[in-house]
Amino acid sequence: MQKSPGLRAALTRKFLRPACDRLATFGRDRRGATAVVFALTAVAVVGMAGLGTEGGSWYLTRRDAQNAADPAAYAGAVRLALAQGTLGLPLAPGARGQAQTAAVSVATANLFTTGTNATVVTVNTPPATGPNTGNATAVEVIIDRTRTRQISGLFLASNPTIRVRGVAALVQNGSACLLALPGFGTGTVTGQLLAGGNSTVTAPQCILASNSARGDAVAITGSSSVTAQSITTPGGCTGCTAATLSQPATPFSPPTVNPLAYLNSKVLPTFNNGSCYSSPVYNPGGGVIPGGIPNNINNSMVIPPPPTGRALCGLKVNAGAVVTLNPGVYYFYNSSFVASGGTIQCRVATSPPTANGAPCTGGRGVTIVFTGSPGQIGGPDINGNATVVLSAPNAANASDPDYAGILFFRDPRATGGNGQGNPAVNINGGAGTSLTGAMYFPNSYVKFNGNADVNSCNLLVGGTVEMTGNMGLRIDQCASLGFGNLVPTVQIVRLVE
């Protein structure tokens, strides 16, 4: 049966049109739209906020870890430097152990400890990776901390590990022309560097150094005047603010490297009273001088290096004498080299040896070594009235390669000389004195007053060193003379990676 048009119209008016009107009204209604949008985006917003917070915590962890790794590496390198000064080079296992302990201690103080908060602290010396691999003076600290995943668990398959790394090392910070060393073995010297009274110290091109850890390791007192590039010591520095320095003094710093330390273990010849050399010595005009070397030299003579197994048993040069030494090694047995006046010079030998030979230039020179029984070993005693012009041999001309560049060397087994008017080494060089080369007096109390020759290399390494009078040192010509490897190296700890 078909519905009539009237019935359809009635049904439309009664049911369909109201439904359409309600649907249209619902489409135009905006109430609750924000709630719908928020519901759709809330998960993403909360997720991103949580992930940002978690990422921020990772950044803070990394920052804190780096702030722990860097000072830990620095502390390890400082400890390594101090251990090096005690144990020497090459670095002993004890030095590396001390450095590792110091680094771990600083990391722990900064709340990074292996086994706590999923943390692992690794200390390597030398570093295991990077450009400083194999650098024995470098300390590497690696800190790993694992963080538990939170919202990042939606994206990461495992907990992230944050890793940071810091590397510190000893680096060269200049060169020293004067280095004082504490005594070792039977030595009793303090290793202080002293300037007092009216002394005037001039070393504008180099650093003055002491390896003493005393609070007064360097002491500038009285009306003394000190001009230098800088002053450095592991200990304290009294009066350094009054010095004229190109760079600030650096107390409480790593010790200065002693390049002459190899001589501490050198096996020296042994002598006895029957080993004393006295003759032949020569007249400058030719011919042998009868009687050999007298107790007091008042006339001129040429003294060649004693042959193997022989040593000089004292040499005292007085005013008016001219003593010529030929290139070579001169051992002094239980005696000193005393220059109270006159002239001591080096000239190349002729045949027979005379003073008419050419001056010792071109790397030809002498090495004077003091040895014997520990309590009787002498040293140089040079008075300001004497003129001493001596230079050390270079590597090409040294008869013993260990003595290349060495002018004076005092056996480290020597004792005596406490500075109370009786120094083991007394060098009071006058205006005509020129000492070219390294002067090494370990375990010795040294009083030094010498002039710096602009064309030479003067460097002094001793025990306690007292600078007196008008003293000058310079090392700018050491490299050109072939003595550059003997210059003490001043060190500083720096972060290098």
Q: What is the pLDDT of residue 50?
A: 53
**pLDDT at 415 > cutoff 80:** no
The pLDDT > 90 percentage for the chain reads 52
Span 275-304, pLDDT tens digits: 999 999 999 888 899 989 999 999 999 999
Q: Is the pLDDT of residue 365 over 70?
A: yes
Q: What is the pLDDT of residue 33?
A: 58
Least confidently predicted of 30-44, 184-198, 376-390, 419-433: 30-44
Mean pLDDT of 414-424: 61
Q: What is the mean pLDDT of the chain?
A: 85
Does residue 418 carry a pLDDT above 50? no
| All residues at 6 or more sequence positions from 298 whose CB lies less than 8 Å from its CB, including other chains | 318, 320, 321
Closest by alpha carbon to 497, among 110, 128, 58?
Answer: 128
Q: What is the mean pLDDT of residues 357-375?
A: 91
- Taking the C-alpha atoms of residue 391 and residue 401, their distance in angstroms, rounded to an integer, is 16
Size of the chain, expressed as the number of residues it contains = 497
Under the banding of pLDDT at 50, 70 and 90, the label for residue 390 is very high
Place 152 in a pLDDT band, splitting at 50, 70 and 90. Answer: low
List pLDDT tens digits, range 251-270. 988 889 899 999 999 999 99
DSSP string, 46-76: HHHHHHHHHHHHHHHHHHHHHHHHHHHHHHH
- How confident is the model at residue 384, as a pLDDT? 83
**How much is the pLDDT for 497?**
92
357-363, long-range: CB < 8 A, 24+ apart:
357/326, 360/327, 360/390, 360/391, 361/391, 362/397, 363/393, 363/394, 363/395, 363/396, 363/397, 363/481, 363/482
Task: Select the highest-mean-pLDDT range: 6-20, 184-198, 203-217.
Answer: 203-217
Mean pLDDT on 432-458: 84
The whole-number pLDDT of residue 108 equals 95
Question: What gap in Å lies between CA 354 and CA 344, rounded to an integer?
Answer: 14
For residue range 60-109, what is the model confidence (pLDDT) as tens digits?
A: 989 999 999 999 999 999 888 877 655 445 566 678 888 999 999 999 99
Please count the CA atoms within 13 angstroms of the CA of 149 that sit on its side-chain side: 10
DSSP per position, 436-494: EEEEEETT--EEEE-PPPTTS-EEEEESSEEE-SEEE---TTHHHHT-GGGSPEEEEEE
Q: What is the pLDDT of residue 286?
A: 83
What distance in Å separates the CA atoms of residue 229 and residue 248, rounded to the nearest whole number?
A: 8
> Could you tell me the residue ranges of all domains in the chain?
36-159, 174-495
Q: Give the pLDDT confidence of 157-172 residue by residue, as tens digits.
A: 788 899 999 999 988 8
Query: What is the structure's pLDDT at 309?
Result: 94
Q: What average pLDDT does the segment 129-145 reach?
A: 92
> What's the pLDDT at 67?
95
